[in-house]
Amino acid sequence: MNIYIFPNLDKQNCREYTRQTCKILKNENAQVYMDKKYRGDFGDIEHIIFPDEPQCASSCDVMIAIGGDGTILKCAGIAMEWGKPILGINCGRLGFMASLEHDQLHMLSQLCSGNYSVSRRMMLNIRVISADKETDRCALNDVVISKTQDCKIADFEVSKSGQMISSLRADGVIFSTATGSTAYSMSAGGPIIEPQMECIEFTQICPHSLFARSMILFPDLPIQVKCHCSSGKALVNIDGNLFGEVSQNDKVLIGRSEKYIEIIDITGGSFFNSVNEKLMQPLKDIPEGIIK
């Protein structure tokens, strides 16, 4: 098996976990690829090949992202283009998309033996239409359209097939996949959705309303969003990265992408384990006597 390792060395202990991963994969007779920019960090490990990123992606059977969910999101863009499945190893805090924690690295033997399942995840296609151009991007988690820092008032119009879904005043709007439901949308009050579901979750950010609720929308017909900001511009962020600005005459269309991402699950039930163990952990960690 050929494996492309995608580490995030900004994460604490990532170097150590990457070295452990490489050692285990060597014992399983797997060929490890890593981008040439990591040669200075791991060049002393003899069985790693260090070509450029396109060759790593084209040569591998599986990609392993070592970091947190942000690392998996970065890796997902490459995996999507080359049609490769991703295994996430978490050395961050939450890591909802990761199949393995750093203390479960011994289970990598199951990856090499084929003893795992694959979860197929829907992605979003985002098209920004302005007067002079159209631009398309894909997202695994979400697209967020929000007011700029110097904007005092922002009004959003959300429609589908010519019918108005919502006309609202808010700091912004979030459109997420089921995979992205545990990210920004959840923090803004949206529900958690089982990640294999194919839908678009619409959640408002700080709406000026007493009756704002998230909505779950069918993904096949594109959702159109227009924003009227007092500053004249709104921000578009895709999977946590700034995509650009849109004016009140621009349109953002959001729908199901033709592309999918495959996430490898070795332990079984990784998503529900993460929800139970990680979302509830802050409550479990509160010392006795604080909550009465």
What residues are annotated to the active site?
Answer: 69
Q: Where are the beta strands (DSSP E) in 8-141?
A: 31-33, 48-49, 62-67, 86-90, 100-101, 117-129, 134-139
Determine the distance from the C-alpha atom of residue 31 to the mean position of all C-alpha atoms in its chain, rounded to a whole number. 27
Residue 83 structure tokens? 């049609």
Give the separation between CA 190 and CA 112, rounded to whole angstroms: 37
In this structure, what are the phi and psi dihedrals at residue 264, rounded to the nearest 5 degrees? -80, 135
Residue 67 structure tokens? 């970091």
SS3 category, 108: helix
Residue 122 structure tokens? 């829907």
